[in-house]
């Protein structure tokens, strides 16, 4: 599903190249659950952003579903967002002015899903995540864990084939974190959704089936569990 060949990323400050990623080459197959680990500043987020096409690598080739996407035009990229990629953020990033229901609905509106289909999908997600009662609340009326559930529900609404999550449990207490991780595992196993997450916690990483260890922008280790 994902092919990275020799991905490099640097920021030039005052003529000096500061490498964030070096020679990253890897393949991620459909259905994998990959955890990216490493010390702070190792380049994990940068790698995830590149995977999510939010940033462009300085060098290297990135193929998504067999298509070279290193420099994709905006329209094509947005098509991919609409149909294939779901994002989950550490800070949840729900839209404050929208209710839980509307937050989950937003990607479906962009994808132009019909209204009855939309209603049933959202009902399903609310049901599945046990947040039916919260559907008319605004994000700031929810706990962190609940907000992240909504974040994940929103990412799933468009039925993506891959979810990219940057420290999805970073702001949560361990009980809530565990719940989210179990959910990810379930999505991966039952729905076959590919998941790539960045995490600091060894424990969280064990929910997946592969760990990429990153240090100073280099993949130090690639472990299958």
Partner 1 sequence: MFKLNLKIAWRNLWKNKAYAAINIGGLALGLTAFVLMLLYINHEESYDSWSPDLKSVYQIREKHDFFTPDNKEHWQDAVNSRMAALVRNNIPQVQAVTKVDQEWDWNNGYSLKVDNANPVMVKKVKDADSSFFKVFDYQFIQGNPETALKSPKSIVIKESIALKLFGTDKVLGKTIKIVIWRSDPGQLMTITGVVKEPKTPQSVGFNAIMRTGDKDKDPENITNSNYCQVYAKMNGAIDTALLNESLIKVYVNAKKASFAQQKRNFNDYYKNGKLPGLKAVQMEAVHANPSLQISWKDKLKPIIGISIFLLLVSVINFVNLATAQSVQRAKEVGVKKVLGSYKGQLLMQFLLESALQSIVSLFLCVILVEMILPSFNHHFNVNLSFWYNPQLLMMIFQLLALFAFVTLIAGFYPSWILSNYNPVSVLKGNYENGLKGIALRNILVVFQFVISVTFIIAIGVMYQQTQYVSNKDLGFEKGNLINIKSNYEETFAERLRKIPGVKYIATTTQVMGNAFNVPEEITYKDSKIPLNTVTVSIDALQALGVKVLQGRIFAKEYKQDTVNSIVLNESAAKLIDKNAIGKMYDVKTEKNKYSFQIVGVIKDYHNEGFDKAVLPTIYKVTHLGGTSNTNNLLVRFDTENSGNVIKKIEAEWKALYPDYPMSYTTMSNAFDKVLEDNKRFMNMIILFSVISVSLSLLGLFALSTFVAKRRTKEIAVRKVLGASNIQIVNLLNKSFLILVIAANLISWPIAYIIIKKWLEGFAYRIDMPVLPFIVATIVSVIIAVLTVSIQARKAAVTDPVNALKYE
85-88 sheet: strands from edge to edge: 85-88, 162-166, 194-198, 33-37, 210-215, 218-224
172: its two tokens:
């949560």
The binding site for partner 1 (CB under 8 A) comprises 45, 49, 52, 54-55, 74-75, 78-79, 81-82, 85, 87, 89, 91, 93-98, 102, 105-107, 109-111, 154, 158, 166
Among 4, 24, 36, 45, binds Mg ion (CB under 5 A): 45
Contact letters for ligand ADP, residues 38-77 (x by CB under 6 A)? x-xxxxxxx-------------------------------
Q: What is the C-alpha to C-alpha distance for residues 161 and 92, in angstroms, rounded to an integer? A: 20
Do 158 and 84 form a contact (C-beta atoms < 8 A)?
no
Q: How do beta strands 162-166 and 194-198 pair?
A: parallel
Does 197 bind ligand ADP (CB under 6 A)? Our answer is no
**Closer Cβ to partner 1, 94 or 212, answer by number:** 94
Decide which of partner 1, ligand ADP, Mg ion, none touches 213; Cβ closer than 5 to 8 Å per partner kind. Answer: none
- Size of interface with ligand ADP, in residues (CB under 6 A): 10
Does 49 bind Mg ion (CB under 5 A)? Our answer is no
Taking the complex as a whole, the smallest distance from the CB of residue 83 to Mg ion amounts, in Å, to 26
Does 205 bind ligand ADP (CB under 6 A)? Our answer is no
Provide the H-helix boundaries in 34-162.
44-51, 74-83, 100-110, 115-128, 144-157
**How many residues would you count in the chain?**
225
Taking the complex as a whole, the smallest distance from the CB of residue 201 to Mg ion amounts, in Å, to 14
Question: Crossing angle for the helix pair 115-128 and 144-157, nearest 10 degrees?
Answer: 140
Report the candidate in 155, 157, 146 with the shortest Cα–Cα distance to residue 197. 155
Decide which of partner 1, Mg ion, ligand ADP, none touches 87; Cβ closer than 5 to 8 Å per partner kind. Answer: partner 1
Binding residues for ligand ADP (CB under 6 A): 11, 20, 38, 40-46
Binding residues for Mg ion (CB under 5 A): 45
């Amino acid at each position: 599903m994902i092919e990275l060949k020799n991905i490099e990323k640097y920021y030039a400050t005052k003529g000096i190249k500061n490498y964030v990623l070096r020679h990253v080459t890897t393949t991620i197959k459909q259905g994998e659950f990959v955890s990216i680990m490493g010390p702070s500043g190792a380049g994990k987020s940068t790698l995830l952003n590149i995977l999510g096409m939010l940033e462009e690598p300085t060098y290297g080739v990135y193929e998504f579903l067999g298509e070279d996407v290193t420099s994709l035009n905006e329209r094509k990229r947005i098509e991919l967002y609409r149909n294939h990629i779901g994002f989950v953020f550490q800070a949840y990033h729900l839209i404050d002015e929208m209710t839980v229901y509307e937050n989950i609905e937003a990607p479906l509106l962009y994808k132009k899903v019909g209204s009855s289909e939309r209603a049933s999908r959202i009902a399903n997600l609310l049901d599945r995540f046990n947040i039916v009662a919260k559907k008319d609340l605004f994000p700031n009326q929810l706990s962190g864990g609940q907000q992240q559930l909504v974040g994940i529900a929103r990412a799933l609404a468009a039925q993506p084939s891959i979810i990219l999550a940057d420290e999805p449990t970073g702001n949560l207490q361990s009980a809530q974190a565990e719940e989210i991780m179990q959910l990810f595992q379930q999505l991966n196993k039952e729905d076959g959704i590919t998941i790539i997450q960045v995490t600091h916690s060894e424990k969280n990483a064990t929910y997946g089936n592969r760990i990429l260890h990153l240090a100073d922008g280099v993949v130090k280790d690639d472990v299958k569990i």
